[in-house]
Amino acid sequence: MGQMPGAMSAAGSVRCQRAFKPGIEDHSLTAFDGRIRKSRYIKKGCPQWVPISLPFGTGLTSLLRSWRLFGLLALLISIVNGFVLATIDLTSRRGAEQIVVLSVRYALPLFFIVFTASSLATLWPTRLTRWLLLHRRYLGLSFAFAMGWHFSFVAYYLITFRPQLSPRGVEADVVGLAFLVAMTLTSFRPVARHLSRTNWRRLHKGGIYAIWLLILYIYQGGARSQGDSYHLTLVALLAGAWLLRMLAWMRVRRSRQSVTRVVPASGS
């Protein structure tokens, strides 16, 4: 029996997900759409949008989705910061410095996920990596929420203890904060619709690299001054994350070049 136009069985959906080739798909996730867009070069008969779910139970999968995921991560971040606040003496300068440093450490895992989500889905297209890419917006907003805690601790530290600041360090922090605020605001449709898709992509790509450079600048300074394994490990992880993005970019570029060569030949 023939299948009605537009209809698709569960088996067909699985086949289409398997046809989701790395490097061909458009991995851009924006406030305009929260789904992975499929290229016109993917095999015919597949839907333009492919839903991605985690290989967990239905209940857990629905919990770890969109704003529920953000709410869960925001709650977890708040609990961790609240616990640290209860165990640190904020009336002392050392305690305030400690909470400033720790609040960044708790946010870093989210940054690494957001920074590498597209690359991981391109290089290793599994259900988990596609799920990370699909929910990158909410993971990014969770990172911004965690950094909100951090900047509130920084403000408390500056107002209470009035330390002498390095002008270069202040400039770097202001640039990073400006990009973080701009990226957060343009993650919502009412603000994002005032930007073209091209400008939106430029802002978010430039912003994520600006934050990456800021984190690298801070931790390579710590690695040079202290030489401890923690700072050295983070510098290595940041370099590795950048390398992942470069490898993914090279694969996408090669795939596009091969498609460009194949399409004219098939149409001739």
Token pair of 45 as six digits: 């008969």
Report if residue 29 sits inside a domain: no
User: How many other C-beta atoms can be found within 10 angstroms of the C-beta atom of residue 224?
Assistant: 11
Kind plus residue range of the DSSP H or E element containing 47: none
Report if residue 56 sits inside a domain: no
Whether the CB-CB separation of 73 and 145 falls below 8 Å is answered with yes
Whether residue 164 is predicted with pLDDT greater than 90 in this model: the reply is no
What letter would DSSP give residue 54? -
Cα 118 from Cα 132, distance rounded (Å) = 8
Report if residue 59 sits inside a domain: no
pLDDT confidence tier of residue 256, bands split at 50, 70 and 90: confident
Report if residue 212 sits inside a domain: yes
Q: Would you state the pLDDT for residue 171?
A: 85
Provide the b/e sequence for 104-116 (b: ≥16 CB within 10 Å).
Answer: bebbbebbbbbbb
Q: Which of 76-90, 127-141, 166-180, 184-198 has the lowest mean pLDDT?
A: 166-180
User: How many folded domains does the chain comprise?
Assistant: 1
Report if residue 184 sits inside a domain: yes
Report if residue 253 sits inside a domain: no
The domain in which residue 145 lies consists of 66-245
Q: Would you state the pLDDT for residue 34?
A: 41
Q: Would you state the pLDDT for residue 172?
A: 85
Whether residue 36 is predicted with pLDDT greater than 90 in this model: the reply is no
Whether the CB-CB separation of 110 and 138 falls below 8 Å is answered with no
Cut 0.85: pTM above it = no
Cα 112 from Cα 116, distance rounded (Å) = 6
Report if residue 228 sits inside a domain: yes
What letter would DSSP give residue 2? P
Whether residue 24 is predicted with pLDDT greater than 50 in this model: the reply is no
Among candidates 210, 209, 217, 90, which has minimal Cα distance to 156? 90
Interacting residues of 88 by C-beta distance below 8 A, sequence separation 6+: 95, 98, 99
Report if residue 237 sits inside a domain: yes
Q: How many residues are there in the chain?
A: 268
Q: What confidence tens digit (pLDDT) does each residue in 210-252 have?
A: 999 999 999 998 899 888 899 999 999 999 999 999 999 999 9
Whether the CB-CB separation of 122 and 133 falls below 8 Å is answered with no
